[in-house]
Amino acid sequence: MRARPPRRSRRSAQRPAGLRWEPAPDIRARLVRIAAALEFRHVDLPRLAAVRTFGSRANALARIWGLPGIFQFALRQPAWYVVEVIMPDFARLPRAEQDRVLIHELLHIPTTFSGGLRPERSPGFSITSRTVDRLYQLYLARRRRRCRSRPPGL
* Residue 31 and residue 47 in contact, taking contact as beta carbons nearer than 8 Å: no
pLDDT in tens, 43-69: 999 999 999 999 999 999 999 999 999
Other beta carbons within 10 Å of 126: 13
Residue 46: is the preceding peptide bond cis (ω within 30°)? no
In contact, 90 and 81? CB cutoff 8 Å: no
Residue 131 has pLDDT above 90, yes or no: yes
Enumerate the domain spans of the chain. 18-142
pLDDT in tens, 1-44: 555 555 554 544 455 568 999 999 999 999 999 999 999 999 99
Is this structure's pTM higher than 0.85? no
Measuring CA to CA, which residue among 61, 52, 56, 70 is closest to residue 116? 70
Please state, in angstroms and rounded to a whole number, the distance separating the CA atoms of residues 136 and 34: 9
Residue-wise pLDDT for 58-113, tens only, equals: 999 999 999 999 999 999 999 999 999 999 999 999 999 999 999 999 999 999 99
Compute the distance between CA of residue 106 and CA of residue 136 in angstroms, rounded to an integer: 12
Choice between 32 and 121, residue whose per-residue pLDDT is larger: 32
| Element housing 64 (H / E) | strand 62-66
